[in-house]
């Protein structure tokens, strides 16, 4: 018999600014890190005004975690110190491993004005924080869709209804689904009991959440999303909690303060990427 997961905490995205003046909605901070382990941060950019985002995120460093960028609408160009260049379009996903160190830029490209996307920061276990950096782009065509009555589930990472997403397996066992429900629709989603799980509502409403709320769920193997009169769309996040200390300073996520100091020193002295 399945055990229904209940909501143990609700978090709300707050207005913030990052990069070159990009306006975002952010869920982050020490309490959030503890509640969402292994996730560190969730950002949403949603604007029809190019001035809110066109400055983008010029070259900046990262170490110790992974970033997951998912675009609903718009385009984003990526370049890094290794000479890699990528461009995400509507429905595309980029999964980047910063590992021991990467310096990259992420620059939105304006088309009809609307830009809507998300970035997640996914922690790496201590043993993998200094692994080689890299990234993979997935187009919308790479991401399978599962239809369940009036519900649509895009499987980005992990598995839903026997359908696996394109992202390769990782020790954090990430699960990332984009779930869309019609008005008043109810959807049961099975999730392995050992995974930490949250759901971020980015459109519509549910019985428990308003737009830009994130629900953190307790133990169990099934959760239920019940849409309101306007329907609902959101991101289901799951991952194996690391239960390791987290030390973060800006773009560096490590386990100790000493490791953060080393990352800063390595970056300031040109050693962050010297091993490549």
State the distance between the two ends of the chain, measured CA to CA, in whole angstroms.
Answer: 50
What is the pLDDT at residue 264? 96
pLDDT, one tens digit per residue, over 118-173 is: 999 999 999 999 999 998 999 999 999 999 877 999 999 999 999 999 999 999 99
- The verdict on 33 and 108 lying in the same domain is yes
Q: Which structural domain range is residue 33 located in?
A: 12-142
- The verdict on 184 and 71 lying in the same domain is no
CATH number of the domain bearing residue 225? 2.60.120.10
What is the pLDDT at residue 83? 87
Q: What is the pTM of this model?
A: 0.95
What is the pLDDT at residue 276? 45
Residue 1 covered by a domain: no
Out of 119, 142, 165, a domain closes at 142
What is the pLDDT at residue 267? 94
The low-confidence residues of the chain, meaning pLDDT below 70, are: 110-112, 274-276
Do residues 95 and 59 lie in contact, with contact meaning Cβ atoms separated by under 8 Å? no
Distance CA(101)–CA(270), nearest Å, equals: 11
pLDDT, one tens digit per residue, over 151-160 is: 999 999 999 9
């Amino acid at each position: 018999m399945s055990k229904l997961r209940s909501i143990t905490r609700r978090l709300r995205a707050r207005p913030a600014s990052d990069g070159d003046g990009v306006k975002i909605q952010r869920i982050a901070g020490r309490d959030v890190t503890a509640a969402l382990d292994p996730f560190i941060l969730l950002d949403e950019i949603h604007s029809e005004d190019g001035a809110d985002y066109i400055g983008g995120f010029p070259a900046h460093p990262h170490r110790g975690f992974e970033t997951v960028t998912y675009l609903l609408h718009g385009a984003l160009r990526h370049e890094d110190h290794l000479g890699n260049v990528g461009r995400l379009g509507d429905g595309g996903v980029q999964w980047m491993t910063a590992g021991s160190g990467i310096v990259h830029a992420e620059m939105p490209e304006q088309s009809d004005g609307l830009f809507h996307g998300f970035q997640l920061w996914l922690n790496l276990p201590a043993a993998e924080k200094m692994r080689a950096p890299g990234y993979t782009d997935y187009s919308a065509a790479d991401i399978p869709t599962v239809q369940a009555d009036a519900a649509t589930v895009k499987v980005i990472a992990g598995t839903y209804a026997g359908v696996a997403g394109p992202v390769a397996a990782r020790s954090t066992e990430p699960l990332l689904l984009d779930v869309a429900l019609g008005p008043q629709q109810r959807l049961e989603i099975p999730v392995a009991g050992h995974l930490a799980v949250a759901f971020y509502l980015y459109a519509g409403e549910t019985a428990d959440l308003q737009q830009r709320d994130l629900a953190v769920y307790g133990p169990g193997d099934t959760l239920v999303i019940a849409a309101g009169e306007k329907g609902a769309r959101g991101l289901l996040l799951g991952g194996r909690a690391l239960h390791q200390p987290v030390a973060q300073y800006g773009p560096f996520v490590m386990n100790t303060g000493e490791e953060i100091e080393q990352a800063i020193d390595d970056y300031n002295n040109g050693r962050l990427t010297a091993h490549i």
